[in-house]
Amino acid sequence: MKPVVRKPINDPILSFFDEFLSNQLAKVDSNIKYVVPAVNIKENDKEVIIDVAAPGLSKKDFEISVENNTLTISAHKEEEKVEEGTNFVKKEFGFEKFQRSFTIPEDMFDTENIKATYKNGVLEITIPKKEEEQKKVKKIQVS
């Protein structure tokens, strides 16, 4: 395996952003683990299904909301690890959190009947299409 070598950036604008981002990442609290889960989006004639890979969480860790045509999925998990020894107690707190947002046109989808299930590390969100939108689906033959 070859080592990763970072080349110097000659562009002053790119250099500024590179330095800015490096400094910002250095300030991130090491006890908080930020993750961006993988997402699969499937669509059929009746609904759109969003699958979010989120292993290690439980149903109570999720918050799902719809506001101003935006579906927001977030999770927050807090862990406490305690090690006890002869003359000391050590506590470490760990946090995991993420947030993903998707725009869903309310004129096409029934946002009042969104359903969510969590099973085997996958959060599945089902967004039904409105009846009139289901009827608008037109198959086009390729010639």
Look up the domain containing 103 and give its range.
30-136
Residue at 4 is within a domain: no
pLDDT at 62: 93
pLDDT reported for residue 11: 54
pLDDT at 94 (0 to 100) = 57
Q: What is the pLDDT of residues 94-131, one digit of tens each?
A: 557 889 999 988 788 998 999 999 999 999 999 999 88
R_g of the chain computed on alpha carbons: 22
DSSP secondary structure, 94-130, as one string: EEEEEEEEEE--TTTB-GGG-EEEEETTEEEEEEEBP
> Does residue 94 fall inside a structural domain?
yes
Q: How many domains does the chain have?
A: 1
pLDDT recorded at residue 12: 55
Residues 28-72 have pLDDT tens digits of: 455 555 567 889 999 998 999 999 998 888 899 999 999 988 999
Q: Is residue 86 part of a domain?
A: yes
The domain that contains 67 carries what CATH number? 2.60.40.790
Q: Is the pLDDT of residue 81 over 80?
A: no
pLDDT confidence tier of residue 139, bands split at 50, 70 and 90:
confident
Query: Is 142 part of any domain?
Result: no
Does residue 53 lie within any of the structural domains? yes
**Residue 112 within a domain:** yes
Q: Residues 2-26: pLDDT tens digits? A: 444 445 555 555 555 555 444 444 4
Q: How many CA atoms lie within 13 A of 143 on its CB side?
A: 0
What pLDDT score does 137 carry? 66
Q: How many angstroms separate the CA atoms of 100 and 115, rounded?
A: 17
DSSP element (H, E) containing 70: strand 70-84
- The answer to whether position 132 is within a domain reads yes
